[in-house]
Amino acid sequence: MAYLELEGVAKQFGAQTVVDDFSLAVGKGEFISFLGPSGCGKTTTLQMIAGFLDPTRGAIRLEGKDLAAIHPAKRGLGIVFQSYALFPHMTAAENVAFGLEMRNVPRGERAERVRAALAMVGLAGFEDRHPRRMSGGQQQRVALARALVIKPSVLLLDEPLSNLDAKLREEMQIELRQIQRTIGTTTILVTHDQNEAMSLSDRIVVMSQGRIEQIGTPQETYEKPASAFVSQFLGKTNDFAATIDRASAPARLIAGSWSAPAPAGLSGPVTISIRPERIGFGDAGLSAKIITRIFQGNHWLFQCESECGPAIVIRQNDGERQPAEGEAVRLSWRPEDMSVRGGAAA
């Protein structure tokens, strides 16, 4: 049985539907990310789980119990807010202790647990600091300790790292993952950062305009995107128009001067998408011309103009000679590296 279950959850504000038909089963100890552009309904969904918003339709169940009947204060979820929402008039230790106080944890045990929680997030010795005297990263850690110290059934993270600078964000991502692995709390992270979602999660829920586009492991969503939106949103991709020619035998999938044996069961015009790092320069394939070539340290980024429109190619900086700007090239890829969408059943 799923630990946390959302079934057909929808939220409407007036006539506007913000989240629609959201169904998801989260296993115990799983790390799930809600990923999507701003306004896709990911935060709204999180707030419905937290209980700050009531779903218009659908049910949310935690260990089989309907959460709608449970007041947000009694749900026992740990939440880290984008703005941290620390209590500015309390010290770090008082902030962390607040949830335990509300649970009438005896003073001695409370102090011990607060100390342990702050130590876990690397803030031992910061007990008596006020939030305003701490850096963004430190405030972030206090917020995490405050949410974790109550041993929440589910940890909800609302874009917790978006206010940190790039380097700190990377550090916190690793730390967050380690902490989550150690204590095994079921975690839901809301983010618009695909790298963050991919590096942290067991599964990603890709959302767009209030709907789920795809649920899958980071690798699945990246390599087998279920829709054009997913392939565009998760990293860079090349979409080419192609056709499946069933007149010839055996049937072939043709994009410009590139062709391959056609996948079974499809015919007519289709869209194929290939990740830029899966395209190579070869002797045969799609004709293209390099427009710009950008050096990025460990790799080269090529922007090309091909028969099928603009294309981007990423090549490892492996010491091989790379084509220059203006050079004519042929682009090729293995058929298993592309995904095919559209087309009629054949």
Partner 1 sequence: MSAAAEERNARAPWALTAPALMLFVGVLLIPLAMTVMLSFHDWGQYKGIEPVFILKNWHEIATDPYYAEMFWRTFRIAVLTTLLTAVLGAPEAYILNRMSGRWKSFFLLVILGPLLISVVARTLGWALLFGGNNGLVNKLLMSAGLIRFPIPFMFTETGMVIALAHVMMPFMVLSVWAALQRLNPQIENAAMSLGAGPVTIIRRIIMPQIMPGVLSGAIIVFSLSASAFATPAIIGGRRLKVAATLAYDEFLNTLNWPLGAAVATLLLVALVLIVVGSNALIERRYAEVFR
Which residues are near partner 1 by CB under 8 A? Answer: 50, 52, 72-79, 81-83, 85-89, 98-99, 102-103, 130, 132, 146-147, 150
Query: What is the rounded distance in angstroms from the CA atom of residue 97 to the CA atom of residue 115?
Result: 9
Shortest distance (Å) from residue 38 CB to partner 1: 17
Contact 53, 97 (CB under 8 A): no
Shortest distance (Å) from residue 23 CB to partner 1: 24
Shortest distance (Å) from residue 107 CB to partner 1: 17
Contact 23, 8 (CB under 8 A): yes
Shortest distance (Å) from residue 49 CB to partner 1: 11
Closest by CA to 42, choosing from 186, 234, 213, 281, is 213
Nearer to partner 1, 157 or 329 (CB): 157
| SS3 state at 242 | strand
Closest by CA to 225, choosing from 314, 344, 315, 340, is 340
Nearer to partner 1, 83 or 248 (CB): 83
Shortest distance (Å) from residue 196 CB to partner 1: 20
For residue 262, what is the DSSP state? P
User: What single-letter amino acid sits at 272?
Assistant: I
Cis peptide upstream of residue 250 (ω within 30 degrees of 0): yes
Nearer to partner 1, 68 or 241 (CB): 68
Shortest distance (Å) from residue 142 CB to partner 1: 12
Beta-carbon count within 10 A of 344 CB: 11
Start-to-end Cα distance in the chain: 39
Nearer to partner 1, 36 or 99 (CB): 99
How far does Cα 10 stand from its chain's mean position? Answer: 21
Nearer to partner 1, 77 or 288 (CB): 77
Nearer to partner 1, 77 or 190 (CB): 77
- Going by DSSP bridges, is the β-strand pair 238-245/252-255 parallel, antiparallel, or unpaired? antiparallel
b/e burial code for range 279-297 (CB count within 10 A of at least 16 → b)? bebeeebbbbebeebeeee
Nearer to partner 1, 3 or 81 (CB): 81
Contact 44, 13 (CB under 8 A): no
Nearer to partner 1, 94 or 170 (CB): 94
Residue with tokens 């947000």: 72
Shortest distance (Å) from residue 121 CB to partner 1: 16
